[in-house]
């Protein structure tokens, strides 16, 4: 009898798995659920290459969920800076506190879904990888693999229900965590978006897309809508060797994080262009940044007047700006300003 899809994939994974700092070796007991959870939160919409140094820094600084729960939120947010999607960091703090209070992570998919920031995929992944539960784990890599394996013609995102149903049919009872990670590795290294390596694929004999000679056509996707483009201004105010930083509002983009002052731009509206101080302002260029639902063009203006800001904010030494935990957008703006001669 021919091996099943799961048998073929797991045999391939035993030899070709990626070695990652949050993973146990194939067939070995799962690592600490804290490390699995932390890695899965970091990996949401972020590449493995980008996550590795953050994961290693976080686990060195906060090696347990109790240690993370005891950390000041501002320290966690600063350590997260540059990783993007900052609501993940705020949910990280909330979840750590809940788990520390309860004494352990819940070990079922349903209970995991009740934790802040854990959707269907993340809860299923943690249940399978950390606790060995049989769970249907579907991320973007799995969507691509399963769409090709079954040649699903319905376009994304409508096809997600069908993809989940088909993934259910091939998910084994045993080694659920290894199977989930094997699907991820297959999608990231073999069944890639472009130029899939079909000759190296352990599922090639079962793949309907390969049989059709059009594997790259799958998954079929609906036409994308253009993102709106927002415009705003960031203000660089420097006194001696320090720059003026403010704390962002508690809701909205980069909520609660340190940043350069700006003119109130948001995901829904352009900024006002109102300058925070009277006097001379000089535009020194701009930076662009892509968000999930919009793109931003941010002009950077440098203050050349004599008035100094008052109220909520802090003077931060420019030679220590890397320690301020600025979001990537404002770090770009700061680098642009620092490149200008005084």
So which residues are the catalytic ones? 40
Which uninterrupted H or E stretch holds 329? helix 328-338
Q: What does the alpha-carbon distance between residue 284 and residue 274 come to, in Å, rounded to a whole number?
A: 17
CB 158 within 8 A of CB 189: no
Q: Provide the b/e sequence for 297-306 (b: ≥16 CB within 10 Å).
A: ebbbbbbeee
Strand positions, DSSP E, the chain: 229-236, 238-239, 242-247, 258-259, 281-290, 295-303, 314-317
Under DSSP, the state recorded for 240 is: T
Which class for 114: exposed (0-12), middle (13-18), buried (19 or more C-beta within 10 A)?
exposed
Cis peptide bond prior to 30, omega within 30° of 0: no
Q: What does the alpha-carbon distance between residue 196 and residue 251 come to, in Å, rounded to a whole number?
A: 42
Q: Provide the b/e sequence for 232-257 (b: ≥16 CB within 10 Å).
A: bbbbbbbeeebbbbbebeeeebbebb
Q: Which two tokens stand for residue 17?
A: 């798995």
Kindly report the number of other CB atoms within 10 A of residue 97's CB atom.
18
């Amino acid at each position: 009898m021919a091996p099943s899809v799961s048998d073929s994939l797991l045999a391939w994974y035993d030899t070709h798995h990626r070695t990652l700092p949050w993973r146990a070796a194939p067939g070995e007991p799962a690592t600490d659920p804290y490390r699995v959870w932390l890695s899965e939160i970091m990996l949401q919409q972020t590449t493995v290459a980008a996550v590795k140094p953050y994961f290693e820094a976080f686990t060195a600084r906060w090696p347990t969920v109790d240690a993370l729960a005891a950390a000041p939120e501002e320290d966690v947010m600063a350590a997260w800076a540059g990783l993007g999607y900052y609501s993940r960091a705020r949910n990280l703090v909330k979840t750590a506190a809940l788990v520390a209070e309860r004494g352990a992570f819940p070990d079922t998919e349903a209970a995991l879904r009740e934790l802040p920031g854990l959707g269907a995929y993340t809860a299923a992944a943690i249940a399978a990888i950390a606790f060995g539960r049989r769970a249907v784990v579907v991320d973007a890599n799995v969507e691509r693999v399963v769409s090709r394996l079954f040649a699903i013609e319905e376009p994304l995102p409508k096809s997600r229900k069908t993809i989940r149903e088909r993934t259910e049919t091939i998910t084994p009872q045993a080694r659920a965590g290894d199977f989930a990670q094997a699907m991820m590795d297959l999608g990231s290294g073999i069944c890639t978006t472009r130029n899939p390596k079909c000759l190296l694929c352990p599922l090639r004999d079962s793949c309907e897309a390969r049989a059709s000679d059009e594997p790259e056509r799958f998954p079929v996707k609906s036409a994308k809508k253009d993102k709106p483009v927002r415009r705003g201004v960031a203000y660089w105010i420097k006194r001696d060797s320090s720059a003026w930083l403010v704390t962002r509002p508690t809701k909205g983009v980069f909520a609660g994080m340190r940043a350069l002052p700006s003119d109130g731009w948001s995901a829904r509206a352009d900024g006002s262009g109102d300058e925070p101080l009277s006097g001379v302002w000089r535009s020194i260029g701009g930076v662009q940044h892509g968000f999930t639902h919009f793109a931003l063009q941010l002009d950077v203006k440098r203050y050349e007047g004599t008035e100094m800001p008052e109220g909520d904010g802090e003077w931060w030494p420019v030679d220590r700006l890397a320690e301020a935990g600025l979001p990537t957008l404002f770090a770009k703006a700061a680098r642009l300003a620092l490149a200008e001669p005084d």
